[in-house]
Copies of this chain bind each other. A is one copy, B any other.
Amino acid sequence: MFYKDNSELKFCMKLKVFNETHAFGPGVVKILELVSETNSLSASYKAMDISSSKGWKIIKRAEEDLGFPLIQSSIGGKGGGYSTVTEEGKELLHRYNIFVKELDIEAERLFKKHFTQ
């Protein structure tokens, strides 16, 4: 390391995709992944330790910017409501995750190149 012998510099990368506002990033990605697992918005918000109004705002903002729904919910029935990620949501999530994964490999390489010499 160039600056301090006993420290270990790291990096953190945050990616968002959007039309007009930076609406689809780590927050909404986490919600979609948790909804895929739990089929429950409230369980997902709880796992993320955010209020349902905050969670709903994150989703709505992304849906409005993208122009399609990310979450599909059925209300009521036996056992209460049930939420799933829409097909378009799954497709976007899939592309986003590959994009992040591949870019992270390049980031590791370039960070090493510029910060460990």
Interface residues of A (CB under 8 A from B): 2-4, 7-19, 22, 66-68, 88, 91-92, 95, 98-99, 102-103, 106-107, 110-111, 113-115
Contact = CB atoms under 8 A, between A and B. Distances in A.
A13 B12 contact: no
A11 B15 contact: yes
- Chain copies in the assembly? 2
B3 A9 contact: no
Contact of A3 (B15, B92, B106, B114): B92
Nearest to A25: B12
A74 to B, nearest CB: 23
A68 B5 CA distance: 12
Contacts of A99: 11, 110-111, 114-115
Given A11-B17, A17-B115, 6 more contacts: A3-B68, A7-B19, A10-B18, A13-B15, A95-B114, A102-B113
A116 to B, nearest CB: 10
